[in-house]
A and B are shown apart, each in its own frame.
Chain A
Amino acid sequence: MPVPLIAVAPSALDLSTLTQEVTRQRAGDGAVASFIGLVRDHNQGRRVSFLDYEAYEPLAIRALHRIVDEIGQAWPDSLVGVHHRTGRLGIGEASIIIVAVSPHRAHAFAACRYTIERVKQIVPIWKHEHFEGGDVWLEGATADPDDESAREAAYRIACA
């Protein structure tokens, strides 16, 4: 079965499979940067038990495609794959994997970092944190894909 470059699903994430697919599509390139986000055991002073990720799946897929398009404009020689997991995830489980490939390392690192920053800005996915003593919905950025200042902030972080 072909591996999609973009996925939002409850199935476990597999970095090696995604890496193989991205590098297969860019055979001959010299740099691969990857990022794995894991469920952390603490957050804002709370001892986390597990996270339950909820997504508005069709829009999340669409937002991820938008990020890939933005990368195509900022670093045209780069290709990115990103898979986000949903549902209940225990401590240490991967919630997101990102693989960026480019001829050279600078653009691979930048595209990888840009992707995670933009995911946190505009992809409609939410963490429901269950901790010792309660639970809380985490709320970060108001998603607005047309907000150029947010996009520029992500770009600056990616290139820092």
Chain B
Amino acid sequence: MRVTVRLFARLRDLAGSGELVRDVEGPATVQSVWRALVAEMPALGEYERTMSVAVNADYSRMSAAVSDGDEVAFLPPVSGG
């Protein structure tokens, strides 16, 4: 199945793109999407302990299931205001 990965701020800079389309094996979770991404781009791995995740623009958890067509976002610690 195919998912859209969204990356923001420094994660986007590290990946060189804010939006990636990836084919992942089902059944997938946010965690499995992240692992595949880090295997591809090891530099992203430093964010594993501090990032937040979202599925279809709603906060989620690493254990959440991911379906075909979902948008999975990985978010560095926020700094708005």
Contact = CB atoms under 8 A, between A and B. Distances in A.
Interface stretch (B25-33, B35-43, B69-77): B69-77
Nearest to B80: A125
Contact of A126 (B6, B50, B79): B79
A59 B73 contact: yes
B57 A56 contact: yes
A119 B57 contact: no
Contact of B10 (A37, A120, A137): A137
Contacts, number: 90
A137 B9 contact: yes
Contacts of B81: 37, 84, 95-96, 116, 119-120, 125
Contact of A142 (B12, B13, B51, B54): B51
Contacts of A95: 80-81
A160 interface: no
Interface residues of A, number: 34
B76 A126 contact: yes
Nearest to A115: B81
Interface string B38-56: 0000000000001110100
12 contacts: A37-B81, A55-B80, A59-B57, A84-B80, A95-B81, A96-B80, A137-B9, A138-B79, A140-B77, A141-B77, A143-B77, A144-B59
Interface of A: 37, 53-56, 58-60, 62-63, 84, 95-96, 116, 119-128, 137-146
